[in-house]
Every structure is written in C-alpha cells, then in structure tokens.
C-alpha cells in the first residue's frame, strides 16, 4: 500500500479479502515475510481485533473502534462518505464486470443515522434521479419510515450495488430492472461496509432476500431470516420484506395476504425501534390490531 491510510481502513480491506477467500472455501493463506512483519508491527487495536475474531480471521472493524480513532461528527462523516462516493465512481472491478450500468446511485440521508436501510440495487427511477429508493418501492419505504415517526432525512438509505444492473447489453432496457447477482454484490460490498463504518448505525435493516444475502452471505427465505439475529460489521441486522414485495402483494386480489405481509414488516419495525431505544406510542403499537 503506497498511501498512508487509517488502520481501520486497512483492517476493512484486509477483512474483506479474508472474508471473500473464506467464503470460497480457503482455510489457509500464505503471507509473505514482509507482509507478516508489517502486520505484526501494526498498532495494538488492529491486533486485538485480529485476536478477537473467530477462527483466526481478522474481524471487520466495527463502529466503536472507529469512534475511538477519530473525532466523529457530521462534517467528518460527510467527508468520509464523499470519499467513498468517489471510490465508487472509479471502481474498476465494478466496471470490468460489464453487467452494471454507468451511473452511480450512492446513498441519501443522515450521515450519522442510528438507523440504516440497505436495499439491493437501484432501478430505473433511482438511476434517473441518482438517489436510492425514489421510485414506487421508495415511496413505500418512505411510508414505513414515516409510520416509525421518522423522516428520510433522519435515516440513512443505501444499496449494496451502486449501479443499476443491466438487462441484456443494457441498451434497450427501458424501465425494466433486475436483481443484482452475487458477483455484482461482491464487487460492491466493500462500499456498504465502509458506509457502515462511517455512519455507525445502531441497526441495519436489510430490505429483502437479495440484500440479506449480500450482507449476510447466506440465502434463505425472508420468513426465517427475519426471525433470526444477524450482524454485519458488528452492527445488528434486521431482515424484512422488500417494499416492492409489499407493492406486488397490494396489486393482487388477496387483500388479506397483503395486509398480513404489511403487518410482518411493521412488527419488524417495532423491534427495530425498540432496539434503537425509540419511544413506541400506543397508536404505533396498535397499527394492525
């Protein structure tokens, strides 16, 4: 590494590489003598993180470590996020896939939010406005956020993949969208990891199975994922249905089914509010009773 970088950054990069190798089934890695020397000479908080991690893999640097390293304030967070945005714009790996469109759709909201929503990838509307969740699914998400007594400006909203996935060669795709695949998510995952490190939310909400799979590196039905406890980079992750799923159900004749799914999402949000320590009014608690 030629540039001088904060230790937390190095830790993030290294943990990303190790995590990827581990998910590919690697159990051992050769380390060059010079690299080993550099690692062992790194400051003590780096080594503690390494020792605390499972099975000898370096753990992902979590928000509290970051807090200790730097003076966190909104100005700092904006600057850091801006730097990540610039990195996304020049992401060679993302471009080299050839399956993602050109425009970057980064994130929106409070750079120091307690609550972070993470979706899968932008769609046509998002690409047009260069903002996540501004199309129909975004309007549904806004309703959910408002029902929690919050505004979009108070939370942080982002996606794992920062470019709209191409359909075919992307030339004639009009408004049709597709989910990102695992390669595309893998190419972009380091960005959301860095965003989490900067924003340091108390809770992450993964919207839908694809976002959950990208963050948690495990598939599965939302019905079971939402019942389990998860973590990403040391931050609790709550999995819930994607707002598009709610919209699809609303457009179908079975109103009871649609209401049941909305109720589940709302139950998840009540858990999130409780976890953050937000007050929950009687009205909020009784929305679906």
Between strands 100-104 and 203-207, the pairing is unpaired
Binding mask 152-171 for ligand URA (x = CB under 6 A): -------x------------
Question: Which is closer to ligand URA, CB of 58 or CB of 113?
Answer: 113
Smallest distance, ligand URA to C-beta of residue 202, A: 22
Site for ligand URA in 228-257 (CB under 6 A): none
Whose CB is nearest to ligand URA? Answer: 119
The answer to the question of residue 132 lying near ligand URA (CB under 6 A) is yes
- Closer Cβ to ligand URA, 123 or 201, answer by number: 123
| Smallest distance from ligand URA to CB 153, Å | 17
Tell the smallest beta-carbon distance from residue 263 to ligand URA (Å).
21
Of the candidate spans 12-20, 51-59, 134-142, 262-270, the one that interacts with ligand URA by CB under 6 A turns out to be 134-142
DSSP lists the bridge partners of residue 118 as 158, 206
Smallest gap from Cβ 197 to ligand URA, in A, equals 21
When the beta carbons of 15 and 244 are compared against ligand URA, the nearer one is 244
Comparison of 109 and 135: residue with beta carbon closer to ligand URA: 135
State the maximum Cα–Cα separation within the chain, in Å, rounded to a whole number: 65
Instruction: Please answer whether residues 153 and 159 qualify as being in contact, where contact means their C-beta atoms are separated by less than 8 angstroms.
Output: no
Contact 113, 201 (CB under 8 A): yes
The least CB distance from residue 117 to ligand URA, in Å, is 9
Give the separation between CA 122 and CA 148, rounded to whole angstroms: 24
Listed ranges 23-31, 130-138, 168-176, 257-265: which one lies at the site for ligand URA (CB under 6 A): 130-138
Instruction: Say whether residue 145 binds ligand URA (CB under 6 A).
Output: no
Least Å from the CB of residue 121 to ligand URA: 6
Least distance in angstroms from the C-beta of 236 to ligand URA: 20
| Interface pattern 99-128 for ligand URA (x via CB under 6 A) | --------------------xxxxx--x--
Residues that bind ligand URA (CB under 6 A): 119-123, 126, 132-133, 135, 137-138, 159
């Amino acid at each position: 590494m030629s540039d001088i970088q904060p230790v937390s950054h190095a830790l993030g990069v290294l943990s990303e590489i190790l995590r990827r190798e581990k998910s590919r089934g690697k159990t051992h890695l050769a380390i060059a003598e010079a690299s080993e020397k550099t690692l062992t000479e790194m400051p003590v908080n780096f080594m503690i993180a390494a020792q605390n991690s499972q099975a000898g893999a370096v753990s992902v640097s979590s928000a509290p470590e970051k807090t200790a390293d730097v003076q966190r304030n909104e100005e700092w967070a904006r600057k850091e996020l801006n730097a990540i945005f610039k990195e996304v714009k020049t992401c060679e790996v993302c471009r080299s896939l050839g399956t993602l469109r050109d425009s970057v759709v980064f994130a929106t909201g409070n750079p120091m939010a307690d609550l972070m929503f993470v979706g899968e990838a932008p769609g046509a509307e998002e690409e047009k406005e260069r903002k996540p969740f501004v199309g129909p699914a975004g309007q549904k998400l806004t309703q959910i956020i408002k029902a929690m007594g919050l505004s979009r400006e108070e939370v942080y909203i982002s996606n794992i993949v920062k470019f709209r996935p191409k359909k075919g060669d992307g030339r004639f795709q009009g408004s049709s969208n597709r989910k990102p695949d695992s390669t595309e998510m893998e190419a972009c995952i380091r960005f959301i990891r860095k965003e989490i490190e900067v924003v340091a939310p108390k809770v992450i909400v993964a919207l839908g199975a694809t976002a959950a799979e990208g963050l948690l590196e495990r598939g599965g039905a939302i019905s079971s994922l939402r019942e389990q406890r998860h973590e990403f980079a040391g931050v609790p992750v709550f999995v819930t249905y994607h707002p598009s799923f709610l919209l699809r159900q609303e457009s179908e004749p079975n109103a009871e089914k649609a209401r049941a799914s909305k109720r589940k999402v709302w139950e998840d949000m009540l858990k999130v509010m409780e976890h953050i320590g937000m007050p929950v009014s009687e009205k909020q608690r009784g929305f679906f009773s």
